[in-house]
Amino acid sequence: MKRSEMLKSVADTPEWDLIIIGGGATGLWCALDGASRGYKTLLLEKGDFVEGTSSRSTKLFHGGLRYLKQGRLGLIHEGLIERGYLAKNAPHLFTSRPFFLPFYSALDKPYYKLGMLLYDFLAGKLVLQKHRLLNRADSIAECPTLRSEGLKGGAVYYDGQFDDARFAIELAKTAANYGATLLNYCKVEELVKTSGKVSGVIATELDTNTPFNIRGKVIINATGIFSDELRKLDDRATPPIMVLSRGSHIIVDKKFLSSQTALIVPKTGDKRVIFVIPWQEKVLIGTTEAVVCEPSNNPKPSEEEISFLLEHAKLILTPYPKKEDILSSFAGIRPLVKSSHNKSSSKLSRNHEILISESGLVTIVGGKWTTGRKMAEDTLNRAFKKLLPCKTLPCKTKSLPLHKSPSFFSLPEIVHLAVEEEMALTAADILARRTRTLFLDIKQALALAPEVIRLMAPLLKKNSLWEAEELDKFNEYAKSYCV
Ligand SMILES: Cc1cc2nc3c(=O)[nH]c(=O)nc-3n(C[C@H](O)[C@H](O)[C@H](O)COP(=O)(O)OP(=O)(O)OC[C@H]3O[C@@H](n4cnc5c(N)ncnc54)[C@H](O)[C@@H]3O)c2cc1C
């Protein structure tokens, strides 16, 4: 995936079948879907691939156990089926992770048993491993750092875990192998219309400030939390449909969760679910729900969210982490779709919605990482059926294996791969997304940044002035990961 070749392809292609705006989970799945069907496909991302929400998830491929209580069996079933396809098509990127749900009253046992049976049943043949019920002693053996006062037992069930940013790069590489052109740091500024119908975009490549006037037959707005901004470019009078909800996570040392089994904090007062999950030799704790007004690709967790996560971790962990134990923290903003019923954001639908405007702009919003493949399939089916019925082609992604990149361990090799094959342009691209160092340990990321930048400079043909500026930029960017 070479950036120079992508730029040449954008400049040389007179018209695309499909232009996708946004390089998050949704846009990347649309790019793979489009290219593998045989459409001439272009994806444009204004920052780095998955720079925003899609690199800040809890990193679970799941049906969502918590939706059982809300009776949303269809939503869970869809997630579990998609989880099964992901396990088959990307086994190298998928970990089957046990989750332990403790109970403190004997009355909880039949209730949890029923829930687990249903969760396994809804996965059908694609179940990862069947759930297990544990007595008190076995529960403590399963999770040695679990607080045991009042513990009666627990249930273990299985869900998928992944590294969202790595998964995204492998999706992009697979799409590129099928002929898609994908360009990061290229912002769509305007939509072009011909006889009232969208027929292209005006975009700026931000590294060299090069403008592009690009023509396309079907244009998809996959900009997540920025969807309303793009919809306004299409029709200034269109009412907003997005509700933005920030979710935060903290990362602590693995001594706080000595098992490979993740924990669920069972009752959080306001009915949120908080997970304590082993991730990349550390422990990830999250998440929260805080409604925000403005979209941002690099939001910062608030003091209240950090305290909330620490308080709830203290309820079930011993030893429990304190503020000074936090190695890094990160937040992302959920792209939820407005409800007419005044629901709180934790109750808003995680379903996706597809809207096609009068001018033909296709907007795909909502959903989650787990259902990205299905979202893309539905979007392209609807879009081509309505806008280009003479060119409908079948979806191929249900059984399409994803690319596997080589694993490197030395810094020069990692930087080389990231710049030459994965289109990294900044230190944050490498330290936050091609590797996850900034997410896992901010001190380590700050210490590595000068060397990473020194290695990047000759590959990108940059001088020492760029190196100094890039280090300042990275130090500023990293501030939102500090507690
Ligand atoms: C805290 C949190 C935890 C979550 N945990 C999970 C989980 O465990 N499992 C799960 O399945 N889902 C999870 N989700 C949901 C999932 O992360 C999101 O649904 C998904 O990442 C949204 O992807 P997206 O591509 O729609 O949006 P985004 O990732 O926001 O991508 C949109 C992209 O569009 C780009 N863009 C915007 N404007 C322009 C423009 N003018 N030109 C070009 N590009 C533009 C943006 O820069 C951005 O990169 C979680 C979400 C949050 C916030």
Pair 267, 323 in one domain: yes
Pair 312, 451 in one domain: no
Count how many domains the chain has: 3
Pocket of ligand 1 contains residue 84 by CB under 6 Å: no
Q: Which atom of ligand 1 is nearest to 79's Cα?
A: 11
Predicted local distance difference test score (pLDDT) of residue 87: 97
CA angle 320, 275, 283 (to 5 degrees): 55
Pair 363, 295 in one domain: no
Pocket of ligand 1 contains residue 225 by CB under 6 Å: yes
**Secondary structure class of 243 (helix, strand, coil):** strand
Which DSSP string corresponds to 358-404? Answer: TT--EEEEE--GGGHHHHHHHHHHHHHHHH-GGG-----GGG-PPP-
Q: Which atom of ligand 1 is nearest to 334's Cα?
A: 53
CA distance 43 to 434: 19
Pair 362, 387 in one domain: yes
User: Residue with the nearest Cα to atom 4 of ligand 1?
Assistant: 57
Residue 269's region, left for phi above 0, alpha for psi from -120 to 50, else beta, is left
Task: Spell out the per-residue pLDDT of the chain, length 483, in tens.
Answer: 999 999 999 999 999 999 999 999 999 999 999 999 999 999 999 999 999 999 999 999 999 888 888 888 999 999 999 999 999 999 999 999 999 999 888 888 888 889 999 999 999 999 999 999 999 999 999 999 999 999 999 999 999 999 999 999 999 999 999 999 999 999 999 999 999 999 999 999 999 999 999 999 999 999 999 999 999 999 999 999 999 999 999 999 999 998 999 999 876 666 678 999 999 999 999 999 999 999 999 999 999 999 999 999 999 999 999 999 999 999 999 999 986 545 555 556 668 999 999 999 999 999 999 999 999 999 999 999 999 999 999 999 999 999 999 988 899 999 999 999 999 999 999 999 999 999 999 999 999 999 999 999 999 999 999 999 999 999 999 999 999
Confirm whether 265 is domain-assigned.
Answer: yes
Confirm whether 48 is domain-assigned.
Answer: yes
Predicted local distance difference test score (pLDDT) of residue 345: 59
Confirm whether 122 is domain-assigned.
Answer: no
Pair 315, 187 in one domain: no
Q: Which atom of ligand 1 is nearest to 369's Cα?
A: 11
| Spatial contact of 17 and 39, defined as CB atoms under 8 Å apart | yes
Q: Which domain holds residue 317?
A: 252-335
User: Residue with the nearest Cα to atom 10 of ligand 1?
Assistant: 369
Predicted local distance difference test score (pLDDT) of residue 234: 97
Pocket of ligand 1 contains residue 24 by CB under 6 Å: yes
Pair 233, 182 in one domain: yes
User: What CATH number does the domain containing 370 carry?
Assistant: 3.50.50.60
Which of 54, 85, 181, 365 gets mutated to test ligand 1 (max ligand atoms within 8 A of its CB)? Answer: 54
Pocket of ligand 1 contains residue 227 by CB under 6 Å: no
Instruction: Give residues with Cβ within 8 angstroms of 105, minimum separation 6.
Output: 152
CA angle 417, 298, 233 (to 5 degrees): 100
Pocket of ligand 1 contains residue 63 by CB under 6 Å: no
Pocket of ligand 1 contains residue 53 by CB under 6 Å: yes
CA distance 210 to 207: 8
